[in-house]
Each structure stands twice: as C-alpha cells, then as structure tokens.
Structure 1
Amino acid sequence: MTTTFEQARAALAFLEQHRLEPSVEFYDFALVYLYQSDPISSEDVDRAIDEDGALTTARAADIAAALRERRSGPADAAVLAVRVATTERELVALRDQIAALRALVLSQIGPGDDAEHDRLTHTLNQTGAQRILEQIGQQDRRFVVLMFSIDRLVAINRDFGHSVGDNILNSFAAKLKRTFPNEQAIRWGGNEFIVVVPGQTATAVRELAEEALTLLEQRNFRLRDTGASIGKVTASAAVVSDHVGDIDAILREARAKIDTAIAAGGNRVEV
C-alpha cells in the first residue's frame, strides 16, 4: 500500500481515538482497517468493539498479530523483518511531516481548527467538500448525491452521553468508507453525511446506500463502562440525481426525502 499523508493522518487519529500506542505494528494495522485491505481484520475489529465496548490494546494486538501471520506466514521472517524496518522508517518520516504540517496549519488558522476535515470523523467538512461539489454539472457525466442522517442521534446523546454519539458518528463514517471506497464521505453537519457518486445510476447507488444502512443496523453499540447495549442504531438516506449542478436544490430535495424517511420510521432509503 502506498501511504499518502491523508492515510497516515487517519491512521494516527484512529490509534489516538482507541488509545493505542503509535507503534509500527498498530500503525500498519490501523491502515489496513481504515482502508479495508483485509476484510478479516475489519470484521475482527468491529466484533471486538461490539463485545468489549471499545478496542482494547490486548484485542488490537491479537488482531494485528493474526494479520501479520496471514500476510507473511512463519516461513517469511526475513521478509517480515524488512517490511517492518521499512514501515518503521516510513512512520518516523510521516510523524515528522505531520508535526511540521500541524505546526504550519496552527500558525495559519489557529489551534484546534482543520481547514478541510471534520475533527471527529476525519471525513471532509463543508469547506473540504467544495472541490467535489463544484464538479457537479461541470463535466460530461451525471452524478448521484446521497445524504445520510443518523436516526435519533439527539436522543442517543441525551440518554447515553455525547461520547456514545461520537462513537456512532465515527463508526458510520468508517462504514461509508467501506461501502464507497472510491468516494470521499462528507460530514455536512450534526448527524448528516453526504457522498457524491459519479457515473452510476440512482438504482445502483440506492443499493449501496441500503448496504451502508444495514452495516450500521447490524452494529451492536455498547457502553464503555458497563458493556451494556444501547439498542439498535439506524440511519435514513436520500438519493438525489444531479440537477444541472444546482447543489442547493439537491440538498433541499435530499432533506425533504430524509424527512419522509424519518416520518415513516427511519432506517430506509428514499429515492
């Protein structure tokens, strides 16, 4: 895997979120999970969070060891050593780049800000999404815009705390990355996410939206302290075809469809 700065930042943010040391082992494991290059590891991580309420260091180490064994096998110790050494050098270099870029960003836009990415989910924010939205209506191909809204997130925050709501937002953002690996998810605000899909029919995109909703519904979120389940969490989605680049009209139609889905009980896709 060729690691970009964006991937490195996401991997380190994943480790920080789960309170894992930024070691070579965990860094490589985070990249694999975030970019779905080993489905077995991804399933193991989701299962660990479901069962324990969080990804513990012990479970992460077990999953990373299993990943390493699948990749290399016991007979390829020399190859593994070279790979680890290369990854370690890459990680050191990326840490230096991140530190330098973070210092530059903070000096220009102020501490705690991120010009183009949502601080919680590391998806694009509205500013970062502009380059994607500007493509709509300007190229000789059609786009389908998906809007997602997590059902009852305000009530979940009220009943279980914002840390649980944040975990749900992060989890859903990861599921959007899994479902739409070639597109960039956008956190439009609050409980809303947008994905812009070029060159696909509304029918095909609807199937993908339903897949993302199913992945969220199947996730068993638990409280970190007690391990108690908070119950089923769902989302609703709207599918809107390109209106000759009129993003405001697209968003108005998407929100109207989301309202229809919520009025019907949520956990559905409106086209």
Structure 2
Amino acid sequence: MTERADQLILNYVSAAADAAHGVLRADQRLDFSRRLRARIEQERQGSQSARDVAKVLARFGDPQALVAREARRLAEGQPEERAPEATARFPQIRDDPNLPPGAARSIKLAQDRLSRRPGRGMPLAGLRRAVMSSANPMTTEGRDAGTIVKEHPRETLAMALLLVAALMVPFNLPSVAIFTVPVIIWAIGTVIVLLSDSWTWRDRLLGTSAPILGYSVGGVLIGGLRVGATAGFERFFTEFYSVSGIMFMIGAGLGVVLLAYRLFNVS
C-alpha cells in the first residue's frame, strides 16, 4: 500500500511539473514542484493508504489549475512563497476582472501554452508517452509500462492469457472435452477482463470478442474470397479452417493492443 500511495503522489507531482513546462522557468518549475510535494506530504499526515492519498490529491484539484495559479502569482509580482507558508494553501483559481493588463496577458499566455501542450489530443498520445518514458519521465506524467503492470497485475495477467491463447493456435493441441486449449485459455482471460473495472464495458467487449470475431467473420470473408462463388461447401470449409486460426491470432493481438492502450490512458 505504501508503494501505491507514493506512486499516486509521484504521478500527481509529475503531471504538475509537465504542465508547468513552457509556462514556468526551469528554476520556477523546480521550486513549484518542491513546494507542491511538501504540501501534499503535509496533508497526507503520514498515511500509507492509497485511498487517503487519493482523497488528498482530489482536494488539490487539477494540476494545470495549480500551474495557472502559480503563473498568476508570478505575473502579479507577488513575493515568492516559502515553505511552510508556501504550501499553506492551493485554493481554486477564480477569474479576477480587476487584474492589471500585464498580469492578464501573462495569464492568458500561460493558459494558451497549457492548451497546446505536446501530445494533448494527438492520436496514440498515451502510447507515445509510454515509449518516451525511459528518456524523460516527465513526458509520461510519471508512468510507464512497469507502473501499469504494478498497478494492474490482474489486468496484465488477463492480457497475457489472451496473447498465449493466440500463440497456442498453431500447435494443434488435443482438445479438453469439446474445447480446444486456446479457447479455454481465451475464456479464462476473458472472464478476468470482464470482471475488471479498469476498462469501460465497451472496451471489455471489444477486447475480448476480437479473437472470436476474427475467427468467425474473418474466416468466412477470407475463406469465401479464396474459393470464389463457384466452389462448393466442402472447399469453403477447407479454406475456412485453414485461415480461421490465423484470423483468431490477429484478432487476439488487436484486442490486446486495444486493452493495453485503454488501460494506460484510463489509468
């Protein structure tokens, strides 16, 4: 539990530091992150519970809002805060119509830069941040593949089972009762995925049904294209069984990619 609680704090502070990139100078960003971490630890009161830490972080609110508040303070030329005074409060930001023109322009510039943060809204941005994690942890908001595995061991096991089911198809292992080994492994992985609340219900259905859709729909389409319209059912079924296993493997791979992508972003 301690490791999980510490990771939540690291993720939050890293998100704030990432949001401050391009808005605050490097020294300002470092000082802001240090004060934020100190205040979180103070509010945490030594608790090792991930649930308690999550509640503390919820009270702090959106990290981008904290960065905008810090930009506001610097733009207004307020004296630099120091711990413990510096971390006394992180109140919610409210628009002030009476701001000096110079301060208002600086705040607008900070907000524009936040809205144009690299990777925000780009396709596959979550996977891009995961790949870049070893080079710059700030780009991933403190998260990488190792973090996901530690935080979601059951979900990781389920995705591994779906991949194993696909890899077992070419071996033609003897059936257990009326079910083949890959189908049994797929069924176990599917049950674990469906019981998990780390994905939306739609993602769970898509991720687990992809192998079966590949086997059935893909097998019918590819098998039909290979035999043409004049061949009989016997030739069709021969072609269907020759390609359906491959389509099952492709479907399983696509389903796991979807689940992994969603797990990283939802987490």
Could you tell me the TM-score, scaled by structure 1's length?
0.28
Of Structure 1 and Structure 2, the greater helix share is in: 2
Of Structure 1 and Structure 2, the greater strand share is in: 1
Question: Which structure has more RCO (C-alpha within 8 Å, separation ≥ 6)?
Answer: 1
Could you tell me the TM-score, scaled by structure 2's length?
0.28
Find the structure with the greater CA-based Rg: 2
